[in-house]
Amino acid sequence: MARFPSMDEKGSVLYLSRLHLDDLSLDHLTDSKRQQIQQLHLNYNRFSFFPPSVCFLSNLEYLDISNNALTVIPDDIMRLTNLKTFVAKNNLLNEFSFPKEFERMQIATLNLSGNRFEDIPMQFLKMTTLQSLSLGGNRLKNIPAEIEKLTSLEMLYLGGNLISSIPPEVADLTSLRYLVLCDNRIQSIPPQLNKLHSLLSLSLHNNLLTFLPREILSLVHLQELSLRGNPLVVRFIKDMTYDPPSLMELAGRIIKSQNLPFSSCDLPSNLIRYLNLASECPNPKCAGVYFDSCVRHIKFVDFCGKYRLPLMHYLCSPQCSSPCSSNPQSDAESEEENSVPADRLQRVLLG
Amino acid sequence: MEHTELVKPESLEDLIQTLHKIFESDRVNVEEVQSIMESYESKPHEWMKYAKFDQYRYTRNLVNEGNGKFNLMILCWGEGHGSSIHDHTDSHCFLKLLQGQLKETLFDWPDRRLQGGMTQKSQRVLLENQCAYINDSIGLHRVENVSHTETAVSLHLYSPPFQTCRTFDQRTGHHNTVRMTFWSQFGERTPYESTVSQENN
């Protein structure tokens, strides 16, 4: 952390941190000196506006202007065609602060943690070169489905926001290795997240999760999973308020499981549509299907260094036995959970 | 008992030399060690070579083996990185902040008979240059970097050195014994083969 201006021997890295700067003039530099600068550190100063002279460092690849008082990023930033890393943590930026054309920049790492974003701006969602996006410690209320367009994304840090749900489209970010969603208000994890085959680390601590989807077991490469500070169920009492299936559902189940042929001259179109919506029971030993009526079942499983994680899955009926778990030991434990006294009417979730 | 004169260490190297002298004797004066560690003013250029970060979790980087009497190491915490609740295998543990802040949450040892979760006893935020102390008779703790914008670096002294400790599941009080590994030693990266998280977190 330089407390005096300095430059490295090659003249490519310029350190101007902690200098009480509120403006920056690089006029004294020759053109060739300006072309040399590849990294610029302007963090911990007093910039309330983005210093225009920075935009003329045409070979700039790395810019850190964190811990200032910026509210706007000017259009001229588009001149920095070689900029790969842009860090502006702890400023006063929000979703309206960036130029309309910002999506054309070839930035790979964007860190805007500690600002005032309430939404992820549309421009960011079109930056297909983005590998790392940090918006930790902002005021984001949700994650837009358009996040799936960031196909190069390997790191997504959204910890410390106001997010209450995760759209299944996050699962389309197949290059994602590190997903941080800690310190939010998330109540459930979409089962589609098991499509994130590259995921190595998932941070979910300090949320409102009571269980995880059973599908999470497919994340075989997962090395880190943080779950502290969630009201995870310790014991699960079977929900005795199970709604029995409707006659239509029962009829539909028989047609599908018996493979009874039907065509458009047999049935009105609404029933054909209904029959095509049948879901297969996740139990591989059960050939059953269900439409709207299914049973939630929690099983406690050891996974990723964690002991007794409550994993939820859905079955076609209370009589359907649950699929084999990954750990034979936890099978024995959940047998215990299954023998619940019939007079237990309430589903009890203990945090 | 002989006391070493409490002179403020001028540098990290100076601190290490002073610690070697203090630990020549078999008795550890906790206040003395804590005071010496706290009075060293963190200078990043002195410890930067040990401060190797990992994207996904905190790292332990060995600095000095203390002639077998203690281990001195630097821990690097990315944004949001935290430890499990853990014990200190009957050793003294000193924790000094070199950069950033860490939250320490204290827990009592879980009562096996109660079969419940573990509730926190107290919590505090350790600031730059502060030095905390804990041992098994005081209790267990969890250490976390709760910042989403800043990394944290801490200097740890453990005496006597230990290679395994217990990590505790807050929800059940159940514990696992884990082997502790170093991300680097003496400034050199030293990989260890492990694909699963060692911390129940």
The model's pLDDT over A3-35, given as tens digits with 9 standing for 90+, comes to 467 887 777 999 999 999 999 998 888 999 999
Q: Which residue has the higher pLDDT, A305 or A347?
A: A305
Per residue in A154-194, pLDDT (tens digit) is 999 999 999 999 999 999 999 999 999 999 999 999 999 99
Which tokens belong to B195? 């694909």
pTM here is: 0.86
Contact of A310 with chain B, judged by CB distance below 8 Å, is answered with no
3-state secondary structure of B23: coil
Give the closest residue to A191 by CA, choosing from A208, A174, A216.
Answer: A216
Asked if B201 and B176 touch (Cβ cutoff 8 Å), the reply is: no
Residues 47-76 of A with CB under 8 A from B: 66
Who among A159, A227, A307 is closest to B148 (CB)? A159
**Distance to chain A for B200, nearest Cα, Å:** 5
Alpha-helical regions (H) of chain A? 31-36, 247-257, 269-275, 328-338
Query: What is the pLDDT, as a whole number, of residue B1?
Result: 46
Known binding positions of B for Fe cation = 86, 88, 141
Whether residues B56 and A224 touch (CB distance < 8 A) is answered with: yes
Query: What is the pLDDT, as a whole number, of residue A2?
Result: 44
Per residue in B64-105, pLDDT (tens digit) is 999 999 999 999 999 999 999 999 999 999 999 999 999 999
Whether residues A234 and B200 touch (CB distance < 8 A) is answered with: no
Mean pLDDT, all residues of chain A: 86
Query: What is the pLDDT, as a whole number, of residue A330?
Result: 37
Per residue in B109-147, pLDDT (tens digit) is 998 776 678 999 999 999 999 999 999 999 999 999 999
Who among B55, B149, B199 is closest to A136 (CB)? B149
Residue ranges and CATH numbers for the domains of chain B are 12-183 (2.60.120.10)
Asked if A274 and A293 touch (Cβ cutoff 8 Å), the reply is: no
Query: What is the pLDDT, as a whole number, of residue A87?
Result: 98
Q: Which residue has the higher pLDDT, A349 or A116?
A: A116
CA distance A197 to A204: 18
Contact of A183 with chain B, judged by CB distance below 8 Å, is answered with yes
CA distance A58 to A60: 6
Query: What is the pLDDT, as a whole number, of residue A321?
Result: 67
Measured between beta carbons, the chain A residues lying within 8 angstroms of B79 are 113, 134, 136, 157, 159, 180
Contact of A200 with chain B, judged by CB distance below 8 Å, is answered with yes
Mean pLDDT across A304-309:
81
CA distance B18 to A259: 82
Whether residues A234 and B117 touch (CB distance < 8 A) is answered with: yes
Residues 73-132 of A with CB under 8 A from B: 89-90, 113-114
**Distance to chain B for A20, nearest Cα, Å:** 20
Residue A180, beta-bridge partner list: A157, A203
**Distance to chain B for A21, nearest Cα, Å:** 21
**Distance to chain B for A285, nearest Cα, Å:** 30
Interface test with B, best of A226, A309, A326 (most B CBs within 10 A): A226
Residue ranges and CATH numbers for the domains of chain A are 6-235 (3.80.10.10), 245-292 (no CATH)
- pLDDT of A218 over the 70 cut: yes
Contact of A306 with chain B, judged by CB distance below 8 Å, is answered with yes
Q: Band of the pLDDT at A341, cuts 50, 70, 90?
A: very low
A288 CA to centre of own chain: 33
* Chain B residue with Cα closest to A228: B201
Per residue in A42-99, pLDDT (tens digit) is 999 999 999 999 999 999 999 999 999 999 999 999 999 999 999 999 999 999 999 9
Mean pLDDT across A310-327:
68
Query: What is the pLDDT, as a whole number, of residue A314?
Result: 77
Query: What is the pLDDT, as a whole number, of residue A119?
Result: 97
Asked if A2 and A18 touch (Cβ cutoff 8 Å), the reply is: yes
Instruction: Produce one character per residue of B139-153: b if its CB has 16 or more CB atoms within 10 Å, e if not.
Output: ebbbbbbbbbbbbbb
Quote the ipTM score. Answer: 0.92
CB atoms within 10 A of CB B19: 25
Q: Which of A132-136, A139-143, A299-303, B161-165 has the lowest mean pLDDT?
A: A299-303
Query: What is the pLDDT, as a whole number, of residue B186?
Result: 97
Whether residues B80 and A183 touch (CB distance < 8 A) is answered with: yes
- pLDDT of A338 over the 80 cut: no
* Chain A residue with Cα closest to B195: A223
Q: How many helices (H) and strands (E) does chain B have?
A: 3, 13
Query: What is the pLDDT, as a whole number, of residue A322?
Result: 61
Q: Which residue has the higher pLDDT, B7 or A57?
A: A57
For every residue of A41-86, DSSP letters joined together read: E--SS--SS--GGGGG-TT--EEE--SS------GGGGG-TT--EE
- pLDDT of A343 over the 70 cut: no
How large a percentage of chain A has pLDDT more than 70?
88
Instruction: Produce one character per residue of A109-122: b if its CB has 16 or more CB atoms within 10 Å, e if not.
Output: bbbbbbbebebbbe
Q: Band of the pLDDT at A300, cuts 50, 70, 90?
A: confident
- pLDDT of B10 over the 60 cut: yes
CA distance B23 to B159: 9
Omega prior to A190 cis, within 30 of 0:
no
Whether residues A234 and B172 touch (CB distance < 8 A) is answered with: yes
**Distance to chain B for A14, nearest Cα, Å:** 17
Residue B200 gets which letter from DSSP?
-
Give the closest residue to A325 by CA, choosing from A309, A349, A341.
Answer: A309
Q: Which of A191-195, A239-243, B46-50 has the lowest mean pLDDT?
A: A239-243
Q: Which residue has the higher pLDDT, B3 or B8?
A: B8
Residues 142-181 of B with CB under 8 A from A: 142, 146-149, 169-172, 174, 176
Whether residues B55 and A136 touch (CB distance < 8 A) is answered with: no
Measured between beta carbons, the chain B residues lying within 8 angstroms of A182 are 80
Mean pLDDT across A107-117:
98
- pLDDT of A120 over the 70 cut: yes
Query: What is the pLDDT, as a whole number, of residue A86?
Result: 98
Who among A1, A178, A226 is closest to B55 (CB)? A178
